[in-house]
Amino acid sequence: MSSLLIKNAQIVTLDPVQPILPKGEILVEGDKIAAVGATVAAPEGAEVLDAGGMLAMPGLINAHHHLYSSFARGYAAPGEPAATFTEILERLWWKLDLALDMEGVRYSSLVALVEAIRTGCTTIIDHHASPSCTDGSLDAMEETFREAGLSGCLCYETSDRNVPGDGVAENERFIRKTQASGDGQVTALFGLHAQMTLSDETMEKVAAVCRDTGAGVHVHVAEGTADEEDCLAKHGMRIVQRLEKFGLAGPKSIFVHGIHLDESEMDIIARTNTMMVHNPESNMNNAVGTQKMLALLKKGILLGLGTDGMTSHMISSARVAHLLQRATLGDPRVAFCEACRMLLENNAAIAGRCFPEPRGKLAAGQLADIAIFDYDPTTPLEDGRFYGHLLYGLNVAPVDTTIARGRILMRHGKLTTLDAAEIAAKARECARATWSRIH
């Protein structure tokens, strides 16, 4: 078993036993943390990484991403700008995902994984769509995670919008594959686009697979008003009621966004212990409204943070979540601690339901996911003061070294598992080819 000793680091453990070590060491054995302390005993022959006084903290977790959206960067849909969320879906995202081929799936994923490594993000819960190459697309994505060295919980976005039940078979196959492998690096949920693109027949098929495999769903919920209006008009109930009717709410499922939930839906989510994810930057970009983040947290809902494909920079997501709540509510007293806890604690708890290994702390027995920031605090970094450094210091500090599952993926700013220049060059070609197929 390989051993790695990280020495001479400021350590933010996120472990209440010893939250901050001004100067300490971390011993990694295999893919787990073996010890953390002012000094630790390392076995003979252990690799030594001198952090040079930089700040080490747990690798960050993204609870909702769309890696394929990497190819939207720089693309402008023809015609008048989309004026509603439904038009954004129809004119951009549903055309972009349909234009992807398997090479595009691969390189759009690799682009986002490079950015994740560079920003200290080591675990991603992704939601994928490529209707022109559905079958095998999750295998292609799995390969990119293994090449990069990151952990991923993957799913395919089932929808009836192109072909009835598109994605049901791919989700079931991949769920069974990952369950059989017993490998914690890549796991699976059952992906759904949103209830407005899913018939009762497809929902029945999804529910049957989830019952048989024990898998939860990963689904967009009440992101725009059109989703709730559609559900009420077609089914005579609200979205969360419909999802619960098919048995798709529960502790293994992730409901994303929830901008337009009413009180009764929030209560169902709380009662069923369903996970939720907030994506503030995406919600602002799509002008769909502001999630009632504080109300959801008050009900005891496990609410985490994602980026919805906008970026792989998780600290940015937390910072925007905090500022957006204050701006929306007109109250400068709220959301600072809540946004930080969502990123650091709730995302780790969500990952704990999606992966077998614990992560999110620098403590013995935890997965060895570590981000080392080139950050020299200009004010005291002490117990009870870290959140201010997180949102207003580390948000712009470069990541020097990223370690995932005990493996160094970037050292002193240089990637070790991926060729970023080759990926960027190939991605430009793939993106142009993808855009040429959009009609």
Residue 220 tokens read as 């967009």
Name the CATH superfamily for 60-354: Metal-dependent hydrolases (3.20.20.140)
State the pLDDT confidence band at 439, using cuts at 50, 70 and 90.
confident
Q: How far is the C-alpha of 428 from the C-alpha of 401, rounded, in Å?
A: 26
State the pLDDT confidence band at 41, using cuts at 50, 70 and 90.
very high
Q: How far is the C-alpha of 362 from the C-alpha of 368, rounded, in Å?
A: 8
- CATH fold group of domain 3-59+358-415: Urease, subunit C; domain 1 (2.30.40)
How big is the CA angle at 402 (ends 362 and 1), to the nearest 5 degrees?
70
Q: How far is the C-alpha of 76 from the C-alpha of 134, rounded, in Å?
A: 25
Residue 407 tokens read as 């493996």
Helices 168-181 and 137-148, axial angle in degrees (round to 10):
40
Q: What is the pTM of this model?
A: 0.98
Task: Report the pLDDT value the prediction gives residue 224, as an integer from 0 to 100.
Answer: 97
What proportion of the chain, given as a percentage, has pLDDT over 90?
A: 98
Sequence length of the chain is 439
Average pLDDT score over the chain: 97
What residues contact 16, with CB distance under 8 A and at least 6 apart?
none
Ordered by start, the domain boundaries in the chain are 3-59+358-415, 60-354
Task: Report the pLDDT value the prediction gives residue 225, as an integer from 0 to 100.
Answer: 97
What string of DSSP letters covers 79-98?
Answer: SSPP-SHHHHIIIIIHHHHH
Assess whether pLDDT exceeds 90 at residue 171. Answer: yes
Assess whether pLDDT exceeds 90 at residue 29. Answer: yes
Assess whether pLDDT exceeds 80 at residue 1. Answer: no
Within 10 angstroms of residue 204's Cβ, the number of other Cβ atoms is 10
Q: Which carries the bigger pLDDT value, residue 17 or residue 278?
A: 278
What string of DSSP letters covers 242-262?
Answer: HHHHTT--STT-EEEE-TT--
Assess whether pLDDT exceeds 90 at residue 38. Answer: yes
What proportion of the chain, given as a percentage, has pLDDT over 70?
A: 100
Asked if the domains at 3-59+358-415 and 60-354 fall in one CATH topology, the answer is: no
Task: Report the pLDDT value the prediction gives residue 39, as an integer from 0 to 100.
Answer: 96
pLDDT in tens, 114-167: 999 999 999 999 999 999 999 999 999 999 999 999 999 999 999 999 999 999
Assess whether pLDDT exceeds 90 at residue 69. Answer: yes
The three-state secondary structure class of 32 is strand
pLDDT in tens, 174-229: 999 999 998 999 999 999 999 999 999 999 999 999 999 999 999 999 999 999 99
Residue 239 tokens read as 């979205």
Task: Report the pLDDT value the prediction gives residue 426, as an integer from 0 to 100.
Answer: 98
Q: Which residues of 103-116 are buried (b: 16+ CB within 10 A; e: fewer)?
A: bbbbbbbbbbbbbb
pLDDT in tens, 342-360: 999 999 999 999 999 999 9
Task: Report the pLDDT value the prediction gives residue 291, as an integer from 0 to 100.
Answer: 98
Average confidence (pLDDT) over 2-8: 97
CA atoms within 13 A on the CB side of 295: 15
